[in-house]
Amino acid sequence: MLFNLLRRYAIMAVAVPLAAAGARKLSERIEAKRGPSRGTRVLRQGADFLSGLRGQKQKKRRRFAW
């Protein structure tokens, strides 16, 4: 049980931020080379989703978007 808890912590603390940073960097490089596309947008959205899993960069959601 303790091993599973440590494994889960290691994944959330190390692997998820690295995957998000890698996806964001890959998206930036592809956009710099070929321009914006659906694939680069998906990579960026995936990186945003992964960073949201850890609680980083959460925006305040306002009802009327002021």
Please write the tens of the pLDDT for every residue from 13-61. 888 889 899 999 999 999 999 999 999 999 999 988 887 776 545 566 6
CA 45-38-29 angle, 5° bins: 75
Give 3-state DSSP helix, strand, coil % of the chain, rounded to 5: 75, 0, 25
Q: The tokens of 3 are what?
A: 């091993």
Residue 65: band (very low, low, confident or very high) from pLDDT cuts 50, 70, 90: low
Nearest to 23 by CA among 3, 10, 42: 42
